[in-house]
Amino acid sequence: MTTTIPALGLGTYGRTGEEGLAALLAALELGYRHLDTAQSYGTEENVGEAIRRSGLPRDEVFVTTKVADTNLSRADFAPSVRQSLDTLGLDRVDLLLIHWPSERDQVPFEDYMTALGQAKAAGQTRLIGVSNFPIEHLKRARALLGEDALATNQVEIHPFLQSPTLRDFARSIELPLTAYQPLAKGSVGENETLREIAAGHGVTPAAVALAFLLAEGHIVIPASGSRANLEANLRARDLKLRPEEIDAVRRLDRGERRIDPEKSPRWDD
């Protein structure tokens, strides 16, 4: 039974319909064992179906889903979790996250964070965590639920947005960050530094970006519908970058945030 978060997983945003299901099945066949979905993605059904069709034991696949910010109220939170489990066809998930904090505290912070803890107590999830939480929100969550309650904070991180302030705080409290958009929507493939490092190792620039983030201690959840890319990204698990290569990628940070809707909290970086 997996109680820790696999370091390299698969983001499932966009993997809808039969084509999306085929991509998820290919990922599981190739060796992915961490599927990341959300109430707002429309992929929970495909994630559950892919696990069933794969023939893999349930305990071998780590499943994350997220409660949408539209379901944070006391009236909506628990029913939305129940609906997610029904859609997935699972008794429980491995990790349940708050997808976004409530914009301007329209829903009281204590309400939805308490509900998150209650979902774990009820056995609906093994672990709980958050997504898109700045340091201020992390401090509030830890004060409310306990210092060791959260398993991760899922945020946008890639070579061009390394979020050093948040990263260093998370390290100080031993909270793993999960990097979504770790390939910056594919733009890592156009970067000359990453291309040069990749050529030296016989891998793709994407694999270099992922290996860098893994070396920084992050969990990564790249998304792809291509079998070739899925396979290439997996090579990051065994890719050991040299110290000078890691330093070169660190220098690519330019604070380039790609996911920044109006409901976003005030970012630290």
Alpha carbon 122 to its chain's center: 23
Active-site residue, 32 included:
no
Cβ-based neighbour number of residue 202 at 10 Å: 9
Which residues participate in the annotated binding site for substrate? Answer: 99
- The string of DSSP codes covering the chain is ---S--SB-EE-TT--HHHHHHHHHHHHHHT--EEE--TTTT-HHHHHHHHHHHT--GGGSEEEEEE-GGG-SHHHHHHHHHHHHHHHT-S-EEEEEESSPPGGGSS-HHHHHHHHHHHHHTTSEEEEEEES--HHHHHHHHHHH-TT-EEEEEEE-BTTB--HHHHHHHHHTT--EEEESTTGGGGGGG-HHHHHHHHHHTS-HHHHHHHHHHHTT-EE----S-HHHHHHHHGGGG----HHHHHHHHTT---------TT------
Query: How far is it, in rounded angstroms, from Cα 117 to Cα 206?
Result: 36
Q: Which one of 13, 32, 41, 180 is the catalytic residue?
A: 41
Cβ-contact 193, 248 below 8 angstroms: yes
CA distances from 69 to 25, 66, 77, 130, 238 (A): 29, 9, 9, 11, 36
Residue list for the binding site? 99
Give me the active site residues, please. 41
